[in-house]
Amino acid sequence: MKPGVQDVRADAPDPLFEQLTAYAGRPAATASSGKDPVNAPMIRHWCEAMGDTSPAYRGPGAVAPPTMLQAWTMRGLSPGPEPDDGTGRSPAYDELLRLLDGAGYTSVVATDCEQEYLRPLRPGDLITYDSVIESVSPRKTTKLGTGYFVTTRMNVRANGEPAGTHRFRILKYRPVERPTHRKAPLRPRPVINRDNAGFWAGVAEHRLLIQRCTRCATLRFPWLPGCNACAGQEWDTVEASGEGTVFSHVVMHHPSFPAFDPSGEGGPYAVALVELVEGVRIVGNVVGLPYDKVRVGLPVRLEFQRMDPDLELPVFRASEGG
């Protein structure tokens, strides 16, 4: 079926598969309608995002790019509180997923989709669709884990006429168990190249170096091969005094990344954009303060922290209690 996918003992009885396959042919969504008719603004935004400049999608007589088929049926990020908001999702699909969750196949990944186009869509077309659970595969083992491929087929109509089909396949799987005793993970290594080697040479000497254009004196950070202000290519450096303030920050809750969590418990951590007194901004960790005490405007001071034998990084210590 797919590279790296194997049947799990095709001859072994699989009562769950018998249960799952009974859902094939049942509706996944019925009598649903697109939130908006096919329209020129969505077509334009899509073409801009995709870099598609075909004249077929512009001006009078324009059609929608066929691959937008699914766009007209999407519920959006805020589907609304009412249970029946016209999207008509059937209980059968939820039931199928619950059955898989209950059997331990709790992870999901979208694997592929296939579309078939039966008629062009034009601005003004009203979209309706229904969706059916087309098939459930026998149990398969992939690199991600063992599970079942579930394929749904959406039939899309425009003004009541068949316009296309959209087949969508997911793998519901039980993740492969990873060995738990592994060496403490290391932070990702910086990519050092000709354009930024000077910065990392500075870090090695505990100096935070900012590039300065020798033509127009504009400071720049991160390091770049040329000046964004005057396009000059010659530069020297200024050493940052180390004083700065938190310009903005985010708190990372998920996904946790072990190398960023010395306690190994996957706790949240703050990532700050620090504005140095010289005027440029740099991303880094704020240390000496709990993540929830980091705030915009917090004064911080540069220091260098050894992360592991091969990596030292500039970090920012809060110079007041928050």
Torsion angle (degrees, nearest 10) of CA 284, 289, 291, 296: -70
Q: Does 224 bind Zn ion (CB under 5 A)?
A: no
d(CA 203, CA 199): 6
Q: Does 227 bind Zn ion (CB under 5 A)?
A: yes
Q: Which stretch binds Zn ion (CB under 5 A): 81-89, 175-183, 226-234, 275-283?
A: 226-234
Rounded to a whole number of angstroms, the minimum distance from the CB of residue 220 to Zn ion is 8
Rounded to a whole number of angstroms, the minimum distance from the CB of residue 211 to Zn ion is 10
Contact 192/200 with Cβ under 8 angstroms? yes
Rounded to a whole number of angstroms, the minimum distance from the CB of residue 168 to Zn ion is 50
Helix (H) or strand (E) holding 151: strand 145-158
Q: Does 276 bind Zn ion (CB under 5 A)?
A: no
d(CA 46, CA 64): 10
Q: Does 229 bind Zn ion (CB under 5 A)?
A: yes
Q: Which stretch binds Zn ion (CB under 5 A): 81-89, 158-166, 177-185, 229-237?
A: 229-237
Nearer to Zn ion, 56 or 229 (CB): 229
Of 206, 207, 283, the residue nearest 247 (C-alpha): 283
Nearer to Zn ion, 104 or 226 (CB): 226
Nearer to Zn ion, 218 or 245 (CB): 218
Q: What are the backbone dihedrals phi and psi of residue 141, each rounded to the nearest 5 degrees, phi first?
A: -115, 125
**Amino acid residing at 313:** L
The interface with Zn ion within residues 189-218 (CB under 5 A) comprises 213, 215-216, 218
d(CA 322, CA 312): 25
Binding positions for Zn ion, rule: CB under 5 A? 213, 215-216, 218, 227, 229-230, 232
